Structure 1
């Protein structure tokens, strides 16, 4: 008997497309049909410019309501969810459809699974009520797809049955960027350096969204201190977001800071290729996997509001976590790495080893196994 599941997403960011393609294929081989339903990003998410479409997915209308910097979203997806054996949704208080689906499940309807972090790892005191609601609802679903073991432990601590939690080890497809990296020529690198004005050997990179949790003012202040210690230090700043105008303004003052905007594909890989370290003093998420794949050790801070993927970073093995809270602590740690060859090379080797552990193929396999387990458990009832 062919079984059908649905996954509902707020929207599809570009880095998730390969995962859904591979998951669809994997589930099909197991006799399970996947219906992927997604909407449009809200105005804040749209600033990232990372949304894509899938021709086999079902794109539905999203309605957004804005309350200050908060957003409530309703997705008109109900018609596509009828007759499904399992529905998987993002764990998010702001997704109003979740409440309807959760109520239906609790009244005997289609089994519902959450997919997410388990909690908001960037929550502040102002999010206390929101986090209480999230914790309350987190245990009132049939199954959990946790981002990784850090999320799984949190969900278990809330009292949810550990046998109904699948830890997927959240990952991205780094195969393409590795292929691009291997295909780069000396001329490609030389042309790129000339284009953005790179002349130093000790180039570092920031890449990702540009918003407050990323601590970009902290990074730019630290960059000036690093430059004072390492005269040929240069910094590439790649990305977009609400703080991009600020980054562009500050970087324009220095010929050793290079703002390049959002980058993808070959240009993204070139940014890594010419950089020795990935500098992210703020929130770290899936970018740690780029660090591993392209052997560019990441340097972050312990007091940032990280996503669960920070658990993949092993301090002084495949990256560095600075425990001092000051800008100078961070700057000194970066300068030391740039000037200490043996320590730097040890981190590069650690990155390459970690890259073999966290792959999209393994994530797809874990997720598919979780779907099979959830469907099998429900059939036994």
Structure 2
């Protein structure tokens, strides 16, 4: 992104904090040499995690014409940035509204008030941008990013999967594997997944469940994989290993929160089974019901039935058109939209004339 920005005449510095403590067990964070980590203080108020990042490195490296911060009211540095002069030169990057948790109405109002005080909004998805516009934000000062993973890399990895790769995967995990891909935590409803799979396997003994990921429920998954027939733990999958699992599995099963795994499913052409939830992340909107995603209720018997049915379904029916959003889901496209948003914002503030 920094190189893309520089080609457009923009000098871009990237600062970030450490992964939240509740995410550290996932072991899926990376260090980016193009970014600088800020010293960060973390503490809890009740059940809410609060962070405060040191802004000294920004002050020393600046001043900046524009600053983009995360749209997160639990990050105290956001309030310090709002107190600086020219707050219309502070933009926010985020979901738009709160998708993944119930929060008090007062907190949502605070998020809206802070968002509306800023100069630009970069939203993950169209619905997120719509939500801030409906709450009073100027639609001409928004950018829809279409948040995504590196789909170009995933496509290359999928093309390199061979027949032997699939054969070996089935020898190891069974002839009709279902794949879970994600964090092993409460938000993904891992116990519901495994109990539902056990019920589905009684109807179709050929089914197997491959669980891939890390997190606080890892010991539970390991216990189940040693005790329950057909349950396998595959560790964390990435690159070619993830591509083999996606290319070979009958379906993706994520009964809990669906986020960027939606993009994995679309690129691989694999149906995804989940449950009706108010807590799916913004990327869930990329999926078309009964085409890309099949939704049950959060009961073991109902979700087991969804797993049974989806495992029998052919990988994306060739008669069905490819998802219309899929061409937009590239890192290059996301970077380009962000940079175009910065340029539009800079012109709106007359920064380009200085």
**Could you state the TM-score of these two structures normalised by the residue count of structure 2?**
0.91
- Contact conserved, 2:146 with 2:328, CA < 8 A, in 1? no
Q: Cα deviation per residue 1:236-289 (whole Å; 9 max; x = unaligned)?
A: 111111222222222321231111222222222222122111111111111111
| Residue 327 (1) aligns with residue 307 (2) | no
| Residue 150 (1) aligns with residue 133 (2) | no
CA distance in 2, matches of 1:165, 1:293: 27
- Pick the aligned partner of 1:311 from 285, 294, 298: 285
**Residue 127 of structure 2 aligns to a residue in which SS?**
helix
- Pick the aligned partner of 1:46 from 24, 27, 34: 24
- Contact conserved, 1:144 with 1:165, CA < 8 A, in 2? yes
**Residue 47 of structure 1 aligns to a residue in which SS?**
helix
1:211 aligns with 185
- Pick the aligned partner of 1:233 from 207, 212, 226: 207
- Pick the aligned partner of 2:75 from 67, 87, 95: 95
- Contact conserved, 2:67 with 2:90, CA < 8 A, in 1? yes
- Contact conserved, 2:199 with 2:301, CA < 8 A, in 1? yes
CA distance in 1, matches of 2:119, 2:210: 45
**Residue 33 of structure 1 aligns to a residue in which SS?**
coil
Q: CA RMSD in A?
A: 2.3
- Contact conserved, 1:293 with 1:352, CA < 8 A, in 2? no
Task: Mark the runs of 5 or more structure 1 residues left unpaired by the alignment.
Answer: 1-22
- Pick the aligned partner of 1:58 from 20, 24, 36: 36
CA distance in 2, matches of 1:160, 1:110: 12
Give the drift of 1:109.
Answer: 5.0
Q: Cα deviation per residue 1:137-180 (whole Å; 9 max; x = unaligned)?
A: 22111110011111011101211111111111111112222212
2:309 aligns with 336
- Pick the aligned partner of 1:134 from 97, 107, 111: 111
Decide whether aligned partners of structure 1 residues 351 and 252 sit closer, same or farther in structure 2, where only a CA change above 3 A counts.
Answer: farther
- Contact conserved, 1:85 with 1:110, CA < 8 A, in 2? no
CA distance in 1, matches of 2:200, 2:134: 41
2:144 aligns with 167
Matches for 1:1-381 after TM superposition, within 5 Å: 23-81=1-59, 82-104=62-84, 107-109=85-87, 111-124=89-102, 127-194=104-171, 197-200=172-175, 202-322=176-296, 324-341=297-314, 344-346=315-317, 354-379=325-350
CA distance in 2, matches of 1:347, 1:204: 21
CA distance in 1, matches of 2:283, 2:174: 33
Decide whether aligned partners of structure 1 residues 241 and 68 sit closer, same or farther in structure 2, where only a CA change above 3 A counts.
Answer: farther
